[in-house]
Structure 1
Amino acid sequence: MTTPLPAAAPTERPEAEGLHAHLVVDRAPRAPAGRGETSAAPFQLDITLTARPGEVLALLGPNGAGKTTALRALAGLTPLTSGRLTLDGHTLEEPAARLRVPPEERPVGVVFQDYLLFPHLSALDNVAFGLRTRGVRRAAARAQAAVWLDRVGLADHAGARPRALSGGQAQRVALARALAPHPRLLLLDEPLAALDARTRLDVRTQLRRHLAAFDAVAVLVTHDPLDAMVLADRLTVIEDGRVVQQGAPADIARHPRSDYIARLVGLNLYRGTADGHEVRVDDTVVATADSEDGPVFVAFPPAAVTVHRSRPDTSARNLWPVTITGMELHGDQVRLDLSGDLRITADLTPAAVADLGLAEGNEVWAAVKATQTHAYPA
Structure 2
Amino acid sequence: MTDTGERATMEPTGGQTPRDGLDARLVVDRGTFRLDVALTAAPGDVVALLGPNGAGKSTALRALAGLEPLTDGRLHLDGTPLDRTPPESRPVGVVFQDYLLFPHLSALDNVAFGPRCRGASRAQARARATVWLERMGLADQADTKPRRLSGGQAQRVALARALATNPRLLLLDEPLAALDARTRLEVRAQLRRHLAEFEAVAVLVTHDPLDAMVLADRLVVVEDGRVVQEGGPADIARRPRTDYIARLVGLNLYRGTADGHTVRFDSGPSVTTTEDLSGPVFVAFPPGAVTLYGERPTGSSARNLWRCEVAGLETHGDQIRVDLTGELPLAADLTTVAAAELGLHPGAPVWATVKATQTHAYPA
TM-score normalised over the length of structure 2? 0.94
Aligned-partner Cα distance in 1 for 2:132–2:324: 52
Other structure's SS at 1:276 match: strand
- The correspondence for 1:132, drawn from 116, 120, 123, is 116
Structure 1 position 45, deviation (Å): 0.1
Give the equivalent residue in structure 2 for 1:69.
Answer: 59
**Which residue identity does 1:60 align to in structure 2?**
L
- The correspondence for 1:284, drawn from 256, 259, 269, is 269
Cα deviation per residue 1:140-171 (whole Å; 9 max; x = unaligned)? 10011011001001000000000000000000
Other structure's SS at 2:160 match: helix
- The correspondence for 1:91, drawn from 77, 81, 100, is 81
Structure 1 position 189, deviation (Å): 0.1
- The correspondence for 1:181, drawn from 165, 170, 185, is 165
Give the equivalent residue in structure 1 for 2:337.
Answer: 351
Give the equivalent residue in structure 2 for 1:5.
Answer: none
Aligned-partner Cα distance in 1 for 2:274–2:107: 56
Aligned-partner Cα distance in 2 for 1:144–1:22: 34
Aligned-partner Cα distance in 2 for 1:16–1:323: 56
Cα deviation per residue 1:50-83 (whole Å; 9 max; x = unaligned)? 0000000000000000000000000000000000
Alignment of 1:199-278 (within 5 A): 199-278=183-262
Cα deviation per residue 1:272-307 (whole Å; 9 max; x = unaligned)? 000011100132111112111000001100000000
Give the equivalent residue in structure 2 for 1:36.
Answer: none
Give the equivalent residue in structure 2 for 1:371.
Answer: 357
Aligned-partner Cα distance in 2 for 1:20–1:333: 44
Q: Residue 22 in 1 paired to residue 36 in 2?
A: no
RMSD: 0.8
CA contact (8 A) 1:148 1:176 kept: yes
Give the equivalent residue in structure 1 for 2:6.
Answer: none
Give the equivalent residue in structure 1 for 2:312.
Answer: 326
Aligned-partner Cα distance in 1 for 2:294–2:124: 73
- The correspondence for 1:160, drawn from 134, 137, 144, is 144
- The correspondence for 1:310, drawn from 272, 289, 295, is 295
Aligned-partner Cα distance in 2 for 1:325–1:145: 56
- The correspondence for 1:117, drawn from 82, 85, 101, is 101
Give the equivalent residue in structure 2 for 1:53.
Answer: 43
Aligned-partner Cα distance in 1 for 2:293–2:93: 55
Q: Residue 295 in 1 paired to residue 298 in 2?
A: no
Structure 1 position 176, deviation (Å): 0.1
Q: Residue 78 in 1 paired to residue 81 in 2?
A: no
CA contact (8 A) 1:299 1:374 kept: yes
Point out where structure 2 has 5 or more consecutive residues left out of the alignment: 1-16
Q: Residue 338 in 1 paired to residue 328 in 2?
A: no
Aligned-partner Cα distance in 1 for 2:253–2:315: 21
**Which residue identity does 2:331 align to in structure 1?**
T
Cα deviation per residue 1:285-344 (whole Å; 9 max; x = unaligned)? 111121110000011000000000000121101000000001000111100000012110
Other structure's SS at 1:79 match: coil
**Which residue identity does 2:241 align to in structure 1?**
R
Other structure's SS at 2:199 match: coil
Other structure's SS at 1:251 match: helix
Structure 1 position 351, deviation (Å): 1.1
Runs of 4+ in 1 over 6 A off after TM superposition: none
Percent identity for Structure 1 against Structure 2 = 74
Structure 1 position 15, deviation (Å): 6.0
CA contact (8 A) 1:328 1:335 kept: yes
CA contact (8 A) 1:60 1:67 kept: yes
Give the equivalent residue in structure 1 for 2:86.
Answer: 102
Structure 1 position 355, deviation (Å): 1.6
**Which residue identity does 1:365 align to in structure 2?**
W
CA contact (8 A) 1:15 1:86 kept: no
Aligned-partner Cα distance in 1 for 2:109–2:275: 59
Structure 1 position 127, deviation (Å): 0.2
Point out where structure 1 has 5 or more consecutive residues left out of the alignment: 1-13, 29-41, 94-99
Aligned-partner Cα distance in 2 for 1:15–1:318: 49
**Which residue identity does 2:353 align to in structure 1?**
A
**Which residue identity does 1:286 align to in structure 2?**
V
TM-score normalised over the length of structure 1? 0.91
Aligned-partner Cα distance in 1 for 2:115–2:164: 7
Number of equivalenced pairs: 346
